[in-house]
């Protein structure tokens, strides 16, 4: 079996490749999710509060990255968004335990609202667990439609998803940061 098929099969079976480093691109968006130009995730953000940030300009994007890295001169991710065509959505889960980051599960358009479903890539351990600050960043196509973020709060491995709306964003609003 060629290596590319093997990697595609592993991504299909595992649902998403394991993160390699902060800022490393995740597996390609799932079929039908063409609204994700690129996604990134990790478990070590400097942002320690639960918040969602919508960046509509390079200045907002660089400020989010600066806050995320804890560095006034942040390193851009491995994808340069074109803010004429894209927006950047950052989801930060604050203090977490046993998580590799945030996985972007789906992007749906319904009734003039973009619904983005996310899931924590968490794992179970015995003992105290591993502390971190899980995060996910998605580059999405620019739109003026409202954005609804739904989190899968199902805690049982293999269980059916249980969705909870954690935020609603209006890209036309001056408010770009929402705590949840």
pLDDT at 34: 55
Of residues 160 and 75, which shows the higher confidence score? 160
* Beta strands per DSSP E along 9-146: 36-42, 50-55, 86-97, 99-110, 113-122, 131-141
Assign 29 a pLDDT band (cuts: 50, 70, 90): very low
Position 23 pLDDT exceeds 60: no
Q: What angle do CA 127, 129, 135 make, to 5 degrees?
A: 165
Q: Is 14 helix (H, G, I), strand (E, B) or coil?
A: helix
Phi, psi of 162 (to 5 degrees): -130, 105
- For the full predicted model, state whether its pTM sits above 0.75: yes
- The tens digit of pLDDT for each residue in 69-116 reads 988 888 877 888 999 999 999 999 998 888 889 999 999 988 889 999
pLDDT at 80: 86
């Amino acid at each position: 079996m060629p290596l590319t098929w093997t990697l595609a099969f592993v991504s299909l079976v595992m649902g998403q490749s394991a993160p390699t480093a902060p800022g490393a691109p995740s597996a390609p968006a799932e079929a039908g999710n063409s609204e994700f130009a690129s996604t990134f995730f990790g478990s070590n953000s400097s942002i320690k509060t639960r918040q969602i940030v919508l960046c509509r300009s390079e200045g907002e994007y660089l400020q989010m990255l600066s806050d995320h890295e804890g560095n006034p001169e942040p390193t851009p991710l491995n994808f340069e968004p074109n803010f004429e065509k894209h927006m950047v959505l950052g989801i930060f889960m604050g203090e977490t335990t046993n998580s590799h980051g945030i996985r972007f599960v789906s992007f749906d358009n319904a009734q003039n609202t973009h619904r983005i479903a996310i899931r924590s890539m968490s794992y179970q351990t015995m003992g105290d667990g591993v502390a971190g600050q899980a995060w996910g960043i998605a580059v999405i196509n620019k739109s003026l439609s409202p954005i609804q973020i739904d989190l899968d709060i199902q805690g049982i491995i293999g269980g059916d998803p249980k969705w909870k709306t954690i935020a609603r964003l209006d890209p036309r609003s001056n408010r770009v940061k929402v705590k949840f």
